[in-house]
Amino acid sequence: MSRGVGSKALIGFLIVLLLSPTAAGHEQETLNVIIVEDEARPGNVTDSAFVEGNSVVFRMRDNTENASMRISIDNNQDGNFSSSSDNVSTWLTRTCELDENGSLVDEFCAVSYERIFNATSQGTYLYQVERKINQTLVETWRYNITVHPDVHTEPGQPSIGDCFGADCGDEVLVGADDGFEIGRENILIAVMIFAAFGTIMLALSIRKERHVVESDLLESE
């Protein structure tokens, strides 16, 4: 019984070794946009590092008395903020009052607003900041958010600028400390040898298990 389990475990290990991806997925990152009395910082988001899957958090930091701000994002990119698909925040304030238990006195009070851009949201989005003083609209600012594609390079696939094909020589990797050179071809050979060794060990294990089963059957007769 234990031999059978061992063989299955070895098979599972080889399958995982051959099929499991080595590239890590993109982890969500958050960009903070600070809204003060005269601008958003940063206003236009254009950095190529801001990619699909990331989010923006707008934080209200206007210390003007009785000031409030609202964020609107043109999701369908039609130039206005009145569509049902557009994101519109509640009116943000500098602080929110809490009760003795640390809960919001006004459940609708907020000091920040987050917008998450999903994995298919590449594009440029217009957003608007409205500013009120004593419930009177006094200013409106407009900026852009550019969401770049989240591009991953899979192992074994050439990146832009890489040389591949019959006319390219064997790329050499040089260690920083000792100058030891390792060609990609040599690495591939090493992996193939390791896989072949695992296959041989698996075959021997199965063969040995088969002999044990046959011996047990003969003894039972």
Q: Over the stretch 113-155, which tens digit does the pLDDT of each residue have?
A: 999 999 889 999 999 999 999 999 999 999 999 999 988 655 5
Note whether 107 and 205 are same-domain residues: no
Domain of 97, CATH number, reads 2.60.40
Which structure tokens are listed for 50? 């801001």
Note whether 85 and 17 are same-domain residues: no
Note whether 107 and 53 are same-domain residues: yes
Q: What is the mean pLDDT of residues 8-32?
A: 59
Q: What is the domain count for the chain?
A: 2
Sheet with 67-73, strands from edge to edge, namely 87-88, 67-73, 123-133, 136-147
CA distances from 160 to 26, 145, 153, 164 (A): 19, 26, 10, 11
Q: What is the pLDDT of residues 49-90, one digit of tens each?
A: 999 999 999 999 999 999 999 999 999 888 889 888 999 999
Does 160 map to a domain?
no
Radius of gyration of the chain (CA): 30
Note whether 55 and 88 are same-domain residues: yes
- Cβ 58 vs Cβ 141: under 8 Å: no
Q: Domain range spanning residue 104?
A: 30-147
